[in-house]
Amino acid sequence: MTIKEKIVDLKSQLPASVTLVAVSKFKSIENILEAYEAGQRDFGENYVQELVEKAEALPKDIRWHFIGHLQSNKVKYIAPFVHLIHSVDSLKLLKEINKQGENNSRKISCLLQIHIAQEDTKSGMTPQEFLEVISSKELIALPHVDVIGLMGMSTFTEDLNLVKSEFKDLATIFQEGQKTQPSLTELSMGMSGDFQTAITEGSTMVRIGSTIFGSR
């Protein structure tokens, strides 16, 4: 299948309420344009410099999602245009995003990344830290960030039962968060290998790369 056909096929599998974020890291401008021509507008990138270069070269109505590990000193490069940062893992980073949002006279939407997978390589807050941050006074003092939900990844494993139970846990933490913060609307979970399971467990945003663009 071509990239266009992959997009059409994936969209037919997703409920209308689920946002498809096409993860385009390491993929060319031409590949991204092909997805764009199929109507795709949400794209996800992992690296600041790559994102900035692509955003300059591509149509301005693309909604760019930052999904990789973000260093505080690089927030300023994406702050003028980023649509949603999925990978906020500390209050310190949130404060820097607020500062850069202020510098650009905008409010930057963010998800807090939660770590539940059984791998130390994945970053993120503990569920406890997440609940503390969303109910903290410090968050109220950051008018240029809008925390709208959480992002999580499952363990990289063939064990679908483990993946399912991790997505269930993320959904539970999300619902827990909504009790203190009803404005939380987005639960970003699910990638090429596990998006169907993630949707069954309540995902509102899937981040899909290799299924669309081929392996990296």
Quote the tokens at residue 102: 């202020």
Kindly give, in sequence order, each residue whose CB lies less than 8 Å from that of residue 195, ignoring residues fewer than 6 positions away.
203, 206, 208
CB 90, min distance to ligand PLP, A: 17
CB 87, min distance to ligand PLP, A: 7
Q: Which is nearer to ligand PLP, 177 or 209 (CB)?
A: 209
Interacting residues toward ligand PLP by CB under 6 A: 23, 25, 46, 67-68, 191-193, 207-211
Q: Which is nearer to ligand PLP, 69 or 107 (CB)?
A: 69
Whose CB is nearest to ligand PLP?
Answer: 209
CB 25, min distance to ligand PLP, A: 6
Q: Which is nearer to ligand PLP, 55 or 67 (CB)?
A: 67
SS3 207: strand
Q: Which is nearer to ligand PLP, 112 or 142 (CB)?
A: 112
Rounded-to-integer distance, Cα 88 and Cα 98, Å = 12
The secondary structure element, H or E, covering residue 187 is strand 186-188
CB 67, min distance to ligand PLP, A: 4
Contact status, residue 38 vs residue 3, Cβ threshold 8 Å: yes
Contact status, residue 212 vs residue 2, Cβ threshold 8 Å: no
| Identity of residue 40 | Q
Quote the tokens at residue 143: 């008018």
SS3 84: strand
CB 122, min distance to ligand PLP, A: 9
Quote the tokens at residue 160: 């679908």
Q: Which is nearer to ligand PLP, 126 or 210 (CB)?
A: 210
